[in-house]
Structure 1
């Protein structure tokens, strides 16, 4: 086997059960398939995924550095430690991708070359621009971070929002998250769920996913199909209480977080998403890879870029969502859509390399 001479480093805070974390692992395989030596560096030990043995994993804890007074000083010192770790333990990287808020703050001070930020969220919604008192101060901080390196946005909606609010401050390009179709289809064969003829929702119990809207809309239907919720998070107790208040305890099942949710998605009548904020909703693309029909809210970024208009619902509109749920329960096949093969990991990795090559010339 030829020795791999090119190095890709993917940096993220931890590997807990989120879409960005999953995309890092999937993109890592894409770079591996292109012949790269791939390293995933994280700052917290938490891991909730089965790790791909083709990739190398590193932990450099940020927690001890929290004792350093001053946020900027803390980040500068840790950035030097990160740079030194990468150069001494991994080697000179050909590409470094920073994912999510903590690494982005760190890599603002990195001296490494070939660094790019991956913007996974619609920034104006993630940081709640409309509720911030000193919005100019926040935007100035974000401009200071994201002007340091080129930026990749995971959807056109994320990119348009970035440019609208922060301006033309850096080279920027839309590159969607990678989807390992073949791997997903294989994992979906792992078991057959005990449930039959059901609706599936996959997502963390957090505000942006709007489980409350979903449950209130579902309560307005005839509930002819049960609703399965896969996920975990800080709002779980609120969701459990709402299920009780809406008298849905016999119809809604909370299944917790599953490392392999794909059998549930494959065997569902359809998948539903009711988020009011997404970057690139991987659960939708993964359902497409499994041939599962989908209905989704038309939130600012993501869904409209992969689904037909008839599959979309207004954000936060309980009656419209209830109506679409009822349509899908009667005939889910009308909400089938095709998978885009340009999302395969190797193809997405190629787009990253082409973008970094373009901006370095």
Structure 2
């Protein structure tokens, strides 16, 4: 009996971002639907690989940079001839298109775009924007399909390319795993989490410009003047020291705790009085979806792209302007005073299950209508 050619997922596991986590979820979701699935990695430094019981075969290309992986990926395509190659992250997307051309194989190439490019490059120098945009305009149309994680990301890509792309498909991220609820029930033993009398606010994500945690700290300062509360930030990044300094400057350091990277953030999310997304750009924010799935009340910035779609134009939970601590604080206080129906929150996250997302991805990978 002939074995089916595998489905290959190609990316650089260089950190602990949402892309790495989503691709691991997707790989596990595709296995029972298709069978042979393997991950082809540029690097394998991600903590998710260290903390995850990986059930999918992983091949490391053993290079230091994604662009250096081109010849090795082309050799992999020529030797293995997977049924489809799904690439994630922009440089991996570019390399995937070039590798197929170099390998001259019939493998379907599908690209995943997980961020709103125009917003991500809005404050970059002109040369940087051009260096990012030109390869996208030339290479992305050559792929068999491009998966956008939200309608906003899809629109942004087509505006960047300068014409409609029939190959663009919107598929929700594979966020909600079967064991999410079980993971959320794990004990923490943190005194702030166990204190049921003081509301706990949670922010989550890399400590970088994109997540705009300074606005969250300033909003928290305003909330704290009205009622006692505490704030925990989950994640690590380059802005840790500046955020700690800002917390001291605002006089809130004693009620702010930067936990760092947490392999299982769900017990924190489940026990939060409010999860706050303060980003200035996204693609489809996974932490927001996870909080909703756990029935945790949320407040989110109306950033491009994703929160407005997930929160159904603000019908599910408040959307606030970006970089507006006053509006954010007002929304947080309103949610604390009037907690929403948890069932409505969970319903909003329903499209983002691993099973639903994997089924849609499989159809695109096999060239079928999703």
Q: Same fold (TM over 0.5)?
A: yes
Cα distance in 1 for partners of 2:23, 2:189 equals: 28
Cα distance in 2 for partners of 1:348, 1:38 equals: 16
Q: Is the Cα–Cα contact under 8 Å of residues 100 and 118 in structure 1 kept in the other structure?
A: yes
Q: CA deviation at 1:289?
A: 1.6
2:288 matches 1:292:
no
Q: Is the Cα–Cα contact under 8 Å of residues 232 and 259 in structure 2 kept in the other structure?
A: yes
Q: Is the Cα–Cα contact under 8 Å of residues 83 and 366 in structure 2 kept in the other structure?
A: no
Q: Is the Cα–Cα contact under 8 Å of residues 84 and 366 in structure 2 kept in the other structure?
A: no
Query: Could you tell me which residue of structure 2 aligns to residue 212 of structure 1?
Result: 214
Q: Is the Cα–Cα contact under 8 Å of residues 9 and 40 in structure 1 kept in the other structure?
A: yes
Give me the CA root mean square deviation.
2.4
Matches within 5 A, 1:220-299: 220-221=222-223, 222=225, 224-299=228-303
SS in 2 for 1:333: coil
Range with greater deviation from structure 2 (246-255 or 339-348): 339-348
SS in 2 for 1:304: helix
Query: Could you tell me which residue of structure 2 aligns to residue 327 of structure 1?
Result: 334
- Could you give the per-residue CA deviations for residues 157-205 of structure 1, whole angstroms, max 9, x where no partner exists? 1001111221225611111111234221111122144223311111110
Cα distance in 1 for partners of 2:40, 2:128 equals: 34
Flag the 1:153–1:131 CA change in 2: closer, same or farther, 3 A: same
2:115 matches 1:121:
yes
Query: Could you tell me which residue of structure 2 aligns to residue 104 of structure 1?
Result: 93
**Is there any run of 5+ residues in structure 2 with no aligned partner, and where?**
none
Cα distance in 2 for partners of 1:287, 1:333 equals: 13
Cα distance in 2 for partners of 1:182, 1:135 equals: 39
Q: Is the Cα–Cα contact under 8 Å of residues 30 and 362 in structure 2 kept in the other structure?
A: no
Q: CA deviation at 1:329?
A: 2.8
Q: CA deviation at 1:225?
A: 1.4
Query: Could you tell me which residue of structure 2 aligns to residue 305 of structure 1?
Result: 309
Query: Could you tell me which residue of structure 1 aligns to residue 28 of structure 2?
Result: 29
- Could you give the per-residue CA deviations for residues 69-101 of structure 1, whole angstroms, max 9, x where no partner exists? xxxxx94x732211213554xx32122111102
Query: Could you tell me which residue of structure 2 aligns to residue 69 of structure 1?
Result: none
Flag the 1:57–1:162 CA change in 2: closer, same or farther, 3 A: same
Matches within 5 A, 1:1-361: 5-14=4-13, 16-49=15-48, 50-63=51-64, 75=67, 78-88=69-79, 91-111=80-100, 112=105, 113-128=107-122, 131-133=125-127, 138-149=132-143, 150-166=145-161, 167-169=163-165, 171-194=167-190, 195=193, 196=195, 197-221=199-223, 222=225, 224-308=228-312, 309=314, 310-333=317-340, 337-339=345-347, 340-358=349-367
How many residue pairs are counted as aligned between the two chains? 347
- Could you give the per-residue CA deviations for residues 204-252 of structure 1, whole angstroms, max 9, x where no partner exists? 1000100011111111222521011111001111111101110111111
Cα distance in 2 for partners of 1:201, 1:100 equals: 24
Q: Is the Cα–Cα contact under 8 Å of residues 193 and 267 in structure 1 kept in the other structure?
A: no
Range with greater deviation from structure 2 (40-49 or 151-160): 40-49
SS in 1 for 2:216: helix
Q: CA deviation at 1:359?
A: 6.9
Q: Is the Cα–Cα contact under 8 Å of residues 13 and 102 in structure 1 kept in the other structure?
A: no
Q: CA deviation at 1:48?
A: 0.7
Q: TM-score, with normalisation over the residues of structure 1?
A: 0.88
Flag the 1:298–1:31 CA change in 2: closer, same or farther, 3 A: same
Cα distance in 2 for partners of 1:263, 1:51 equals: 17
Cα distance in 2 for partners of 1:184, 1:239 equals: 29
SS in 2 for 1:61: coil
Q: TM-score, with normalisation over the residues of structure 2?
A: 0.86
Cα distance in 2 for partners of 1:35, 1:134 equals: 40
Q: Is the Cα–Cα contact under 8 Å of residues 6 and 35 in structure 1 kept in the other structure?
A: no
Flag the 1:138–1:228 CA change in 2: closer, same or farther, 3 A: closer
